Amino acid sequence: MNAATAPAAPSATLDTAPTGPRLVAAGPWTVNHAGRLDRTLDGLVGRLVADGRAVVVALDRLTALDTAGAWLLHRTQRRLAEQGVSCRLEGLSPPRARLVAKIESACAQASLPPAPRTNWLVEQLAVCGRATLDALDEVVELLAFFGALAATLVATLVRPWRLRATAFSAHVMRTGLEALPIVGLMSFLIGVVLAFQGASQLRQFGAELFTIDLLALSILREIGVLMTAIIVAGRSGSAFTAQIGTMVVNEEVDALRTLGLDPMEVLVVPRVLALMVSLPLLAVFADFMGLLGGGLLTILVLDLPLGQVVDQLQRSTDGTQFWAGLVKAPVFAFVIAMVGCRNGLRVEGDAASVGRLTTQAVVSGIFLVILLDAGFSIAFNALGI
């Protein structure tokens, strides 16, 4: 095609006349030139709105018009009408006029209806319903993961040589030995607080000596193991999710599957077993530190001799209270490790997912620990323990 037969470039120019502005459209108004024409029309519409007089759009110099060009004409006409400026099209041939009319009809039918008004109470009920369904789905998925983990644990116990001893010992050190300082400090301070509050209340009845009974029963039976499990859920449960989630992001878990290795056996089982060993030992340490903190406060504040504190401690408790608290530790450890590892394997491949599921692992782990503790309390009461 030479320069003589090539179509002129599309244009949209503005002529001013005493009767009003005149928008002249020329050249091919087609989809190939829609971007350029759109930018030109944006500037012209602002000028026409500022002028405020009726506009005539001259279309007799158009060489081509397709659906995109007709839509630009309709949109310009509509934008001017929204600003109170009337716009009239002139010079359209009958076929092009029918095309513009079809575009106007299609745009009118495609306009969205106003959003339906809903009742606030209905919306809240819908939110609660969706949350309930999500919670039920979460429970079902957690039970499925529990079943897979239980089967893998049984297979590991049947074939103990498949347990990765190096990973197991490393996790025992990280979840147990490295957690001793924070668990000991928190338990010591909780023992101090319990003893101080108990002594303040019992002093009103002249029964300060029974502060030791309160301290021993609460720490050995409930507070020691419960606070230890909560600390471990925030420390080790989140670490499990972050570690495995990062491996998912880096495609290391996919590499394990490619090599024919089961991520449940390689990543989950050593962590679960390690925490089931570490948490009972941490609970025993927490009991000791809690009693130590409370005992020191009773000696210093109540001015009780050490021998009397030890004697009262022996008379107020027996092995039943200690074991009633300690038997919960492996169950708490299993649940915390299971939730943490499951959330790590659920990571979807980005850093935001790792952070979100790590937070969810801590919240879910603490919630399940408290729920299980309530269940143990009901069961022990029914059994008379």
Instruction: Flag whether pLDDT at 204 surpasses 80.
Output: no
CB 48 within 8 A of CB 12: no
State the SS3 of 152-169: HHHHHHHCHHHCCHHHHH
220 CA to centre of own chain: 35
- Please tell me the distance from the alpha carbon of residue 250 to that of residue 279, in angstroms, as a whole number: 30
Q: E strands, 8-49, where?
A: 11-15, 22-29
**Banded pLDDT at 114 (limits 50, 70, 90):** low
- Please tell me the distance from the alpha carbon of residue 179 to that of residue 150, in angstroms, as a whole number: 26
Q: CATH class for domain 11-108?
A: alpha beta
Mean pLDDT over all residues of the chain?
85
| 114 DSSP assignment | P
pLDDT at 6: 41
Q: pLDDT for 36-89, tens place per residue?
A: 888 888 888 888 777 777 888 888 888 888 888 888 888 888 888 888 878 888
Among 136, 324, 262, which Cα is nearest to 253's? 262
List Cβ neighbours of 176 (8 Å cut-off, separation of 6 or more).
274, 277, 278, 279, 281, 282
Give the domain ranges of the chain: 11-108, 154-383
